[in-house]
């Protein structure tokens, strides 16, 4: 099978089953036994290599959040981000990690920036061992000096910078506005707004030197609509939405495109943490979220990563100042 990937598992596991593209394993002799199969998850079919000891219909532990398929498919056309260099903030887990893995598969050299060092290093090693290019940097996006330094180091390490994904973000305290302290408000704004400002400010000179590039800002459906919770988060994501449009206009003539992505509820560590803090059973919380989406379920990190990949690629060369909503129909109601 020429399009096989090795799949590596991270984060919380669930049982999925392998099927094969050949007759059932039980009908084959040991000499005929294949060493490849197809992993099925939510209607997605992912070619994998599986252990020789695995039997037909035997469960394989794989991650709920991310399947890290490393390296471009053999025998296919040029990868969508070939010769590009990208940095993803908040890149160690959730949407950020899915984006790093997907960009690496599509040929980009990826800088993973986060404060979760162990996860970040593990992800970089996984991408490298699968034939991609990646390096991890510890980065607190609220520290302007650190942002400027890390962006410079990324450009030095990989030779340039083409893509910035402003993904780092926190939800903050779930209190009414009159119950929030100034410190709680500022904590969210420092990460979600100042972090985007600092990273964009110090990425622009590198993108200019590269002759242009793409910035993708992670806003939210809660940068477009609202709800009766986490007011600082809502305000911060609304700010990111408008910052995106302003910068898109400012830098358009320099061939620097700036767009925002607005995820609905995506089952990430951040959302799972909200579930745990809600006082409700986590699975019940998830089921209630599923019911809010016309499509019938919450999204996966790869759903958002695919949109980010598009906006970062040359396929989106005529797209700037746009809002890409990926929400399973949530905001259409």
Q: What is the pLDDT of residues 288-300, one digit of tens each?
A: 889 889 999 999 9
User: Catalytic residue numbers?
Assistant: 233
Strand partners for 214: 163, 257
Question: Are 24 and 123 part of one and the same domain?
Answer: no
Task: Judge whether 161 and 151 are in contact, CB under 8 Å.
Answer: yes
Give the structural domain span for 115: 73-332
Q: What is the reported pTM? A: 0.76
SS3 of 102-113: the string is: HHHHCCCEEEEE
Question: Are 134 and 169 part of one and the same domain?
Answer: yes
pLDDT in the model for residue 271? 78
Question: Are 197 and 309 part of one and the same domain?
Answer: yes
What is the distance of C-alpha 55 from the center of its chain?
Answer: 33
Total domains, the chain = 2
pLDDT in the model for residue 77? 57
Tell me what the mean pLDDT of segment 29-36 comes to.
38
Cα-based angle 80, 83, 88 (whole degrees, multiple of 5): 75
Strand runs (DSSP E) across 101-253, as ranges?
A: 109-114, 133-138, 163-166, 213-218
**Taking the CB of residue 297, how many other CB atoms lie within 10 A of it?**
15
CATH code, domain carrying 325: 3.40.50.720
Q: What is the pLDDT of residues 294-318, one digit of tens each?
A: 999 999 999 999 999 999 999 999 9
Question: Are 312 and 197 part of one and the same domain?
Answer: yes
Q: What is the pLDDT of residues 99-149, one digit of tens each?
A: 999 999 999 999 999 999 999 999 999 999 999 999 999 999 999 999 999
CA atoms within 13 A on the CB side of 104: 29
The answer for 71, left when phi > 0, alpha when psi is -120 to 50, beta otherwise, is left
Question: Are 78 and 58 part of one and the same domain?
Answer: no
Question: Are 153 and 221 part of one and the same domain?
Answer: yes
């Amino acid at each position: 099978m020429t399009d096989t990937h090795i799949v590596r598992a991270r984060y919380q596991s669930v049982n999925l089953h392998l099927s094969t593209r050949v007759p059932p394993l039980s009908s084959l002799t040991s000499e005929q036994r294949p060493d490849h199969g197809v992993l099925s998850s939510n209607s997605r079919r992912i070619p994998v290599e599986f252990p020789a000891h695995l039997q037909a219909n035997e469960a394989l532990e794989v991650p709920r959040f991310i399947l890290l398929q490393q390296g471009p498919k053999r025998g296919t056309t040029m990868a969508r981000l070939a010769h590009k260099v990208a940095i993803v903030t908040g890149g160690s887990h959730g949407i950020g990690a899915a984006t790093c893995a997907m960009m690496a598969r599509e040929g980009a050299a990826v800088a993973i920036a986060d404060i979760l060092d162990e996860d970040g290093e593990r992800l970089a090693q996984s991408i490298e061992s699968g034939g991609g290019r990646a390096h991890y940097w510890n980065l607190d996006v609220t520290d302007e000096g650190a942002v400027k330094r890390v962006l410079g180091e990324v450009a030095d390490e990989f030779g340039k910078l083409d893509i910035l994904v402003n993904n780092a973000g926190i939800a903050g305290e779930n209190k009414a506005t009159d119950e929030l302290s100034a410190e709680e408000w500022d904590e969210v704004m420092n990460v979600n707004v100042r972090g985007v400002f600092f990273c964009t400010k110090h990425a622009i000179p590198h993108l200019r030197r590269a002759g242009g590039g793409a910035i993708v800002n992670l806003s939210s459906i809660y940068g477009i609509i609202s709800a009766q919770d986490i007011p600082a988060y809502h305000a911060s994501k609304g700010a990111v939405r408008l910052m995106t449009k302003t910068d898109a206009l400012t830098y358009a003539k320099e061939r620097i495109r700036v767009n925002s992505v607005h995820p609905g509820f995506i089952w990430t560590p951040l959302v799972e943490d909200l579930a745990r803090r809600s006082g409700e059973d986590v699975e019940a919380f998830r089921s209630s979220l599923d019911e809010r989406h016309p499509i019938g379920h919450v999204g996966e990190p790869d759903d958002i990563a695919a949109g980010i990949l598009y906006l970062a690629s040359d396929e989106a060369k005529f797209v700037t100042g746009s809002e890409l909503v990926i929400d399973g129909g949530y905001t259409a109601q």
